């Protein structure tokens, strides 16, 4: 089970996640988010961090040049596009770096999901499916009905979650079956204070998911 922890705002947390063998760490470059990393960490500190955890930059409708500059400055391994980026934009970026494209699908059915993802089929490397129910801080608060994905023709590795995943969801994650289910993306439901993850909670979630799966 691949685990991505999004909204990292400190080097200590990145180091802790690396020690927990978390697969992906997400850094938010949307300056409207309370998790915006641009004014919290120096680019060179992230770029030269000695970690195996892959560094993922999360962007919302930023232009190509701006994204490429940040990729270089921060030494990112992957990017996640969480806005309304077009298939053409995703395809341009995927020539330079692995791209995760996020879709918000609260009230979608399988047919509608198929229609959207088909446009991006050759434009990105991974999908991410999330809820669109926002809190007053901008974070996702509720998970969508994952069963909707089971009725789709997805043929690309995908994440579920983002802010909608809660620590108590491990058993439900186990019950979710799809041949291309790649990983879980967790975020603000694992914070002990604004922008700071509770690493003990992250660890217990990882252990619970692995125990349930095994």
Find, among 100, 172, 180, 165, the residue nearest to 130 by Cα: 165
Q: How many CB atoms lie within 10 A of CB 119?
A: 13
Residue 133 has pLDDT above 60, yes or no: no
- Main-chain phi, psi angles of 62, to 5 degrees: -85, 150
CB-based contacts of 133, cutoff 8 Å, min separation 6: 106, 140, 141, 142, 164
- Pairing, β 191-193 against β 196-197: antiparallel
CB-based contacts of 44, cutoff 8 Å, min separation 6: none
Find, among 158, 141, 64, 59, the residue nearest to 106 by Cα: 141
Question: Which pLDDT score, from 0 to 100, does residue 151 have?
Answer: 65
Residue 203 has pLDDT above 60, yes or no: yes
Mean pLDDT of 34-42: 96
Whole-structure pTM value: 0.90
Residues 75/51, Cβ–Cβ less than 8 Å: no
Question: Which pLDDT score, from 0 to 100, does residue 109 have?
Answer: 62
Q: Specify whether domain 2-213 bears CATH 3.30.420.40.
A: no
Residue 137 has pLDDT above 60, yes or no: no
Q: Which residue has the higher pLDDT, 156 or 153?
A: 156
Distance, CA of 123 to CA of 157 (rounded, Å): 13
Q: How many CA atoms lie within 13 A of 54 on its CB side?
A: 16
Question: Which pLDDT score, from 0 to 100, does residue 25 have?
Answer: 98
Q: How many CB atoms lie within 10 A of CB 127?
A: 24
Highest mean pLDDT among 70-79, 177-186, 197-206: 70-79
Question: Which pLDDT score, from 0 to 100, does residue 132 have?
Answer: 66
Render pLDDT for 45-97 as a digit per residue (tens, 0 to 9): 999 999 999 999 999 999 999 999 999 999 999 999 999 999 999 999 999 99
Q: Which residue has the higher pLDDT, 190 or 144?
A: 190
3-state secondary structure labels for all residues of 145-210 = CHHHHHHCCCCCCEEEEECCCCHHHHHHHHHCCCCCEEEEEECHHHEEECCEECHHHHHHHHHHHH
Render pLDDT for 9-28 as a digit per residue (tens, 0 to 9): 999 999 999 999 999 999 99
């Amino acid at each position: 089970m691949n685990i991505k922890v999004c909204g990292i705002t400190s080097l200590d947390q990145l180091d802790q996640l690396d020690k927990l063998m978390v697969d992906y760490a997400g850094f938010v470059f949307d300056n409207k988010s309370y998790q915006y990393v641009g004014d919290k960490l120096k680019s060179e500190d992230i770029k030269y961090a000695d970690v195996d955890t892959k560094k993922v930059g999360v962007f919302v409708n930023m232009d190509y040049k701006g994204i490429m500059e940040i990729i270089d400055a921060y030494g990112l391994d992957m990017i996640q596009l969480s806005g309304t980026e077009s298939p053409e934009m995703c395809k341009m970026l995927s020539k330079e770096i692995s791209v995760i494209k996020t879709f918000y699908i609260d009230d979608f059915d399988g047919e509608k999901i198929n229609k959207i993802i088909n446009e991006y089929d050759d434009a990105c490397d991974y999908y991410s499916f999330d809820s669109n129910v926002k809190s007053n801080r901008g974070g996702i608060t509720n998970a969508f009905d994952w069963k909707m994905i089971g009725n789709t023709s997805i043929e690309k590795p995908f994440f579920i979650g983002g802010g909608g995943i809660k620590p108590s969801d491990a058993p439900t994650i186990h019950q979710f079956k799809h041949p291309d289910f790649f990983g879980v993306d967790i975020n603000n439901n694992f914070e002990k204070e604004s922008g700071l993850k509770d690493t003990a909670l992250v660890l217990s979630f990882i252990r619970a998911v692995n125990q349930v799966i095994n």
